[in-house]
Amino acid sequence: PKGQIGGSEVGHLTMGAGKVLTESLTRINLAFSDQSGVNNILHIPTFQQFIKNAQQKPAHLIGLISDGGVHSHINHLFSLLKIMKQQNCLSPNIHFISDGRDTPTQSGIIFAQQLLQLINQLKFGKVVTLLGRFFAMDRDNNLDRTKKAVSNILGESISIHLVGLIKAFENSYQQQITDEFIEPIVVDQDYSRVNDNEPFFFFNFRADRMRQLISMLKEKLPDSSFFTMTRYGDDYPYKVIFEKEKVDITLGKIISDHGLYQLRAAETEKAPHVTYFFNGGTEVVYKNEHRIICSSNKVKHDVMPEMKAKEITNNVIDFVTKKSPDFILVNYANSDMVGHTGNFPAIITAIQTLDRELERLCSYLIKQDYICVITADHGNSDLTYDLKTKEINTAHTLNPVPFIIYSSGNKYQLKPIEIVSFGLSDVAGTILDLMKIEKPKKEFNSLLEK
């Protein structure tokens, strides 16, 4: 939607698909706002099933509660609560995952106040736990973090117990703990544990940071019905409210269909983006597609802002020397992941590292007759302090991203910006032109001046 910051998922999906997709945020907004039309969420069979279950047992609603719009949106929860109330569901338990990453670092208390106001107005629902997204939404196999979140949701960690959601936020802020890093705690004095067969609704629409949490919860609760806002994975058996838009043709598929060899490289923080998302949101591995994934560090990224950039470069250079792939996709995570910390000295180190590794990799590739295309899926490190709010910015930005073609002799020219509207959907078509591969007729616009 206009004015909505981009994210790594939608960015890589768009670059790989060569077209602008109707995103989950837009589709869900329509389903909740279309009160009587064919798009209304109550027409969806799986949602009808959730409502039926929630009428018989108290449901558990779990998700990131903020207006960041990258993984979820607070308005979806508000609409969900109103519909459940109208449909005579039992009062649900809400598990509040705090943001502070795609939103200001201490904005969680504002969203908490908004939610409590609606709960009081509806006289429906209660917030039972509070979990920082650092714990609840880890995607890098830091299972100790996920275990803390799961134990909290299940009511097993009652020793860490504060009465009151607002008080929990205030106490965290007093200890200089921002929303992202709030330790999982129980905030309702009457909450004890999850009972048998209580339904769960996971309202994050972005998949990658919910997989660990939902998988570990399902191990503990095999008999509970799990509903997810979108499909979290091809092999996940849970009931899905909004199936993803199907992408039949991707850049990777076209390259593979031409019998060419391709390499995908990243560290684990961005592994899904250069594989699953770039391949149209599917688990497919194309013929002649090879992957190099370096294990991310197990510390906060501002502690080691260099991340795995050097290791990625070394591995790609070594692979190219041996195999000479026709297409290479590399993701350096530094400017995004360290940008999210808001730690300015660390961000400087991250960008210096990124600059050094880009120079090293591109200089090598040019000597091997490759053409380098440098771009990004969204902004982040370009804005570290918001002059309007006087706060550190940890979120993505709306600033334009670079698009640079670097080649021997710099012989390529882009269309004038007055003629064409640049976008991530044009990246795939431009690459196909550079590779001299015929493009599909409908999409895959190219930015090259011919």
Sequence-ordered alpha helix ranges (H) in 221-343: 251-257, 271-272, 309-323, 334-337
- CB distance 270 to 340 below 8 Å: no
- Sort strands 226-230 and 200-202 into parallel, antiparallel or unpaired: parallel
Report how far residue 410's alpha carbon sits from residue 433's, in angstroms, rounded to the nearest whole number.
Answer: 15
For residue 160, pLDDT beyond 60:
no
Q: For 22-242, CATH number?
A: 3.40.1450.10
- CB distance 274 to 12 below 8 Å: yes
What pLDDT is attached to residue 129?
96
For residue 158, pLDDT beyond 60:
no
Mean pLDDT across 413-418: 82
Domain boundaries, the chain: 22-242, 251-434
What pLDDT is attached to residue 35?
67
What pLDDT is attached to residue 429?
96
Given this chain, do its domains 22-242 and 251-434 carry the same CATH topology?
no
The better pLDDT of the pair 35, 147 is held by: 147
Mean pLDDT across 75-80: 97
Mean pLDDT across 442-447: 86
Mean pLDDT across 342-362: 98
The better pLDDT of the pair 50, 298 is held by: 50
What pLDDT is attached to residue 162?
64
Q: What values do phi and psi take at 310, rounded to 5?
A: -65, -40
What pLDDT is attached to residue 178?
96
Q: Which residues are marked as active site?
A: 8
- CB distance 115 to 94 below 8 Å: yes
- CB distance 166 to 109 below 8 Å: yes
The mean predicted confidence, pLDDT, of the chain is 93
What pLDDT is attached to residue 235?
84
The better pLDDT of the pair 106, 388 is held by: 106
Could you read off the pLDDT of 284-318 as tens digits, one per residue? 999 999 999 999 999 999 999 999 999 999 999 99
Longest dimension (CA), the chain: 70
Confidence of residue 276 (pLDDT cuts 50, 70, 90): very high
- CB distance 185 to 129 below 8 Å: yes
* C-alpha dihedral sign at 70, 400, 281, 445: positive
Report how far residue 11's alpha carbon sits from residue 402's, in angstroms, rounded to the nearest whole number.
Answer: 13
Report how far residue 391's alpha carbon sits from residue 127's, in angstroms, rounded to the nearest whole number.
Answer: 28
Within 10 angstroms of residue 450's Cβ, the number of other Cβ atoms is: 6
Report how far residue 24's alpha carbon sits from residue 219's, in angstroms, rounded to the nearest whole number.
Answer: 27
Q: What is residue 379's DSSP assignment?
A: B
Torsion of CA 368, 370, 374, 377, to 10 degrees: -120
What pLDDT is attached to residue 334?
98
For residue 159, pLDDT beyond 60:
no
Instruction: For the full predicted model, state whether its pTM sits above 0.75.
Output: yes
Chain length of the chain: 450
Report how far residue 359's alpha carbon sits from residue 15's, in angstroms, rounded to the nearest whole number.
Answer: 23
For residue 2, pLDDT beyond 80:
no
Q: What is the DSSP string of 112-168?
A: HHHHHHHHHHHT--EEEEEEEHHHHT--SS-HHHHHHHHHHHTT--TTSB-S-HHHH
Distances (CA, A) of 238 to 48, 80, 243: 15, 19, 12
What pLDDT is attached to residue 314?
99
What pLDDT is attached to residue 419?
61
Mean pLDDT across 11-28: 92
Could you read off the pLDDT of 322-344 as tens digits, one per residue? 999 999 999 999 999 999 999 99
What pLDDT is attached to residue 161?
58
Percent of the chain clearing pLDDT 70 (strictly above): 97
For residue 196, pLDDT beyond 90:
no
Query: What is the homologous superfamily of the domain 251-434 according to CATH?
Result: Alkaline Phosphatase, subunit A (3.40.720.10)
Could you read off the pLDDT of 106-155 as tens digits, one per residue? 999 999 999 999 999 999 999 999 999 999 999 989 999 999 999 999 98
- Sort strands 60-64 and 93-98 into parallel, antiparallel or unpaired: parallel
Report how far residue 165's alpha carbon sits from residue 170's, in angstroms, rounded to the nearest whole number.
Answer: 9
